[in-house]
Amino acid sequence: MRALVRETTLSPGDFILPLFFSATCKEPEPIGTMPGVMRLPVSAAAAEARAIKDLGIGGVILFGLPAQKDPEGRAGYDPDGPVPRAIAEMKSAVPDLLVMADVCNCEYTDHGHCGVLRKRRDGTMDVDNDATLEILALDALAYAKAGVDVVAPSDMMDGRVKALREALDAGGFEETSILAYSIKYASGFYGPFREAADCAPQFGDRAGYQMDPANAREALREAALDEEEGADMLMVKPALPYLDILARLRDRTTLPIGAYNVSGEYAMIKAAAAANMIDERRATLEALTSIRRAGADFILTYHAKDASRWLR
């Protein structure tokens, strides 16, 4: 009877698994801050795609670690970079696997910020929003050419959804969709990811472009702007500390919504489980169910493989 009256479902097809492809590693490399998550060489992409398909997972989102970084993040749109190559390998191994690519400069810039820098009049540095848009558009085009289904801008520059849509359409990629990281907070829960992707900012922080955790109305405004600019799907990130935002957005938009169960949320469960403080399986499935209950259609989560096995 409980099953009959259950209001929220959770299944492997709801999950998007984030993957890190590195230009320099030869073998899968464990990531210290994220137990169970590996940096992968592109040579592992096809087998990974098949394993993910076999588990019934809804799709993947790719991040890249380039061989070289520079102030503009040019490695992000190198067609021979780890992300375009991994996209092509995964799509040719499993053509119906949904492949997304994160679009951001922070993995590719030597200073670790999500855009190119400029000097303010007072001599301090900040991110140049509009100059960054041009680079993001080149990134999105490079991933579209490699065969990606969805580009997901996570940089938080203003106007980037419109810039990406225009660049994709002009390049003949009208069918490439945009999943906008619309509501992305300046969060302490990204710490483990920054080690994984080697993208911690070398000075300052991301509060100039990511959102203040205290703001909810601003979140709805950010989402409305992305919707107007042509986003096909919206995202809330992180997930668990912002379930209220997810629920409010669900009431406001008819677009599909994703939620990013980020690295710090994952690491907390892993660490507590390793210390025998909680039951990993129970806590994980409860957390993921709560994200669906709050209104997410799909969840980007590092728990995707384990949770999919548990849900079989």
Q: Which of 106, 135, 144, 151 binds ligand PBG (CB under 6 A)?
A: 106
Q: Which one of 39-47, 98-106, 158-166, 212-220 is the stretch in contact with ligand PBG (CB under 6 A)?
A: 98-106
Q: Which of 22, 263, 284, 308 binds ligand PBG (CB under 6 A)?
A: 263
Q: Compute the distance between CA of residue 288 and CA of residue 280 in angstroms, rounded to an integer.
A: 12
Burial group, residue 138, by CB count within 10 angstroms (0-12, 13-18, 19+): middle
Interaction pattern, residues 198-237, with ligand PBG; x per rule: CB under 6 A: --------x-------------------------------
Q: Compute the distance between CA of residue 268 and CA of residue 271 in angstroms, rounded to an integer.
A: 5
Q: How far apart are the two ends of the chain, measured CA to CA in Å? A: 20
Q: Which one of 37-45, 102-110, 165-173, 251-259 is the stretch in contact with ligand PBG (CB under 6 A)?
A: 102-110
**Packing angle of the helix pair 45-55, 304-311 (nearest 10 deg):** 30
Q: Which of 194, 250, 281, 293 binds ligand PBG (CB under 6 A)?
A: 194
| Inter-residue contact 262 to 189 (CB < 8 Å) | yes
Half-sphere exposure of residue 301: CA atoms within 13 angstroms, side-chain side: 34
Strand 29-30 versus strand 38-41 pairing type = antiparallel
Closest to 85 (Cα-Cα) out of 19, 133, 30? 19
Position 103 contacts ligand PBG (CB under 6 A): no
Q: Which one of 85-93, 190-198, 221-229, 283-291 is the stretch in contact with ligand PBG (CB under 6 A)?
A: 190-198
| Inter-residue contact 108 to 198 (CB < 8 Å) | no
Position 185 contacts ligand PBG (CB under 6 A): no
Nearest CB to ligand PBG, comparing residues 171 and 201? 201
CA 281 to chain CA centroid, nearest Å = 23
Q: Taking the CA atoms of the chain, what radius of gyration do you get in angstroms?
A: 18
Q: Partners of 265 in the beta sheet?
A: none
Max CA-CA distance within the chain? 67
Cβ atoms within 10 A of the Cβ of 310, count?
Answer: 16
Token duo for residue 134: 């041009």
Position 193 contacts ligand PBG (CB under 6 A): yes
For the annotated catalytic residues, the residue numbers are: 184, 237
Position 241 contacts ligand PBG (CB under 6 A): no
Nearest CB to ligand PBG, comparing residues 176 and 263? 263
**Residues contacting ligand PBG: total by CB under 6 A:** 11
Q: Which of 109, 154, 284, 308 binds ligand PBG (CB under 6 A)?
A: 154
Rounded least distance, CB 37 to ligand PBG, Å? 10
At residue 139, φ and ψ (nearest 5 deg) are -60, -50
Rounded least distance, CB 214 to ligand PBG, Å? 18
Position 102 contacts ligand PBG (CB under 6 A): yes
Cβ atoms within 10 A of the Cβ of 27, count?
Answer: 10
Rounded least distance, CB 299 to ligand PBG, Å? 12
For the chain, what's the residue count? 312
Interaction pattern, residues 43-72, with ligand PBG; x per rule: CB under 6 A: ------------------------------
Position 190 contacts ligand PBG (CB under 6 A): yes
Position 259 contacts ligand PBG (CB under 6 A): no
Positions touching ligand PBG (CB under 6 A) are 102, 104, 106, 114, 154, 190, 193-194, 206, 262-263
